[in-house]
């Protein structure tokens, strides 16, 4: 069965009386090249893959061919009528029905993938929860090799922006702290059914074994990073002082000791600058 074929999808959905739910971010892939490319980037024969939101199983089937085992978490129980048909030949794929946001993914990994040398997360993510999913996965420090996901193009650019450039924000700093991010390729809106109003991109976050910078307290570091990017038009001194109540003089002194001008903007700081600043103030 060609699960990326629009007529196959229509016939499957019609037979089971399935209608798309916008509230669940249900835009199904209808391009034959995207899923094989995602699977090749995410996994190999030794990898256990967690997929989020299999839909009718178009990516699940590709992952099942490439990986050792796939466990896919789907919220929409109406797909129980379809997935057993579409994945009948995928003996190493299992579907769990539930909300990924409420699941203990570390426990799932320990239960399902004890014999897998590598773990990956791969998904065409529902857009309404992109950031909480990506940040939740990174912050929970999953024992994973990579997170390879399709997200809205603008979200991809923000998540993967190089720290120290105009596009970077607090979220890009967090992504670069936990992983090495890369935009792999773009996916136009015409590759989905129904077609969304935005284009997409596939990103790969290669999880770091340890952060590239050393901070005294991660909690304090991320609080400072949020403050730095809270008021983007202001200088770092003003936004950090306004947001955290820290004396301007103390911030200026810290910047001076790092060799940075007091007029500097947060977007001009490298990850290392931000780490050093958080260790000073």
The residues of the shown chain that bind ligand SAM, judged by CB under 6 A, are: 24-29, 52-55, 58-59, 73-76, 99-101, 124, 126, 129
Cβ proximity to ligand SAM: between 130 and 172 the closer is: 130
The nearer residue to ligand SAM, 185 or 264, going by C-beta atoms, is 185
CB of 69 to ligand SAM, least distance (A): 17
SS3 call for 12? helix
Which residue number has the CB closest to ligand SAM?
A: 53
- Measured from the Cβ of residue 89, the count of other Cβ atoms closer than 10 Å reads 10
Ramachandran sector of residue 259 (left: φ over 0; alpha: ψ -120 to 50; beta: rest): left
Q: For residues 101 and 117, which CB has a smaller minimum distance to ligand SAM in the complex? A: 101
Q: 147 is written with which tokens?
A: 């997170």
Alpha-carbon span 276 to 281, nearest angstrom: 9
Cα–chain center distance at 237? 31
SS3 150: strand
Nearest-approach distance from CB 197 to ligand SAM, in angstroms: 14
What count of residues does the chain have?
Answer: 281
Q: Which is nearer to ligand SAM, 127 or 264 (CB)?
A: 127
Q: What is the DSSP letter of 161?
A: P
Nearer to ligand SAM, 143 or 194 (CB): 194
- At its nearest, how many Å lie between ligand SAM and the CB of residue 140? 16
**Least Å from the CB of residue 271 to ligand SAM:** 31
Closest contact distance (angstroms) between CB of 253 and ligand SAM is 46
Pairing of strands 69-74, 47-52: parallel
47 neighbors 68 (Cβ within 8 angstroms): yes
In the complex with ligand SAM, the residue whose CB is nearer, 100 or 144, is 100
Q: Closest separation between CB of residue 79 and ligand SAM, Å?
A: 7
| Contact (Cβ atoms closer than 8 angstroms) between residue 59 and residue 49 | no
């Amino acid at each position: 069965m060609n699960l990326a074929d629009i007529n196959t999808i229509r016939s499957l959905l019609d037979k089971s009386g399935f209608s798309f739910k916008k509230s669940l971010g249900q835009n199904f892939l209808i391009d034959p090249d995207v899923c094989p490319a995602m699977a090749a980037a995410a996994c190999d024969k030794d990898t256990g893959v967690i997929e989020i939101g299999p839909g009718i199983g178009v990516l699940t089937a590709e992952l099942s061919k490439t990986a050792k085992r796939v466990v896919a978490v789907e919220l929409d129980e109406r797909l129980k009528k379809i997935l057993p048909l579409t994945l009948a030949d995928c003996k190493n794929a299992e579907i769990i029905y539930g909300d990924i946001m409420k699941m203990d993914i570390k426990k799932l990994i320990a239960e399902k993938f004890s014999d897998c040398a590598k773990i990956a997360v791969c998904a065409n993510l529902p857009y309404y929860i992109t950031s909480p999913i990506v940040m939740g996965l990174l912050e929970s420090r999953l024992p994973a090799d990579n997170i390879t996901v399709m997200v809205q193009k603008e979200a991809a650019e923000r998540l993967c922006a190089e720290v120290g450039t105009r596009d970077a924000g607090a979220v890009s700093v967090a992504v670069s702290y936990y992983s090495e991010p890369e935009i792999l390729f773009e996916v136009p809106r015409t590759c989905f059914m129904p077609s969304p109003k935005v284009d997409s991109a596939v990103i790969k976050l290669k999880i770091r074994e340890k952060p590239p910078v050393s901070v005294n307290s991660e909690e304090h570091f991320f609080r400072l990073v949020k403050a730095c990017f809270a008021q983007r038009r202001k200088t770092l001194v003003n936004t950090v002082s306004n947001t955290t109540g820290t004396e301007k003089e103390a911030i200026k002194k810290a910047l001076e000791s790092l060799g940075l001008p007091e007029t500097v903007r947060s977007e001009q700081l490298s990850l290392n600058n931000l780490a050093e600043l958080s260790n000073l103030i």
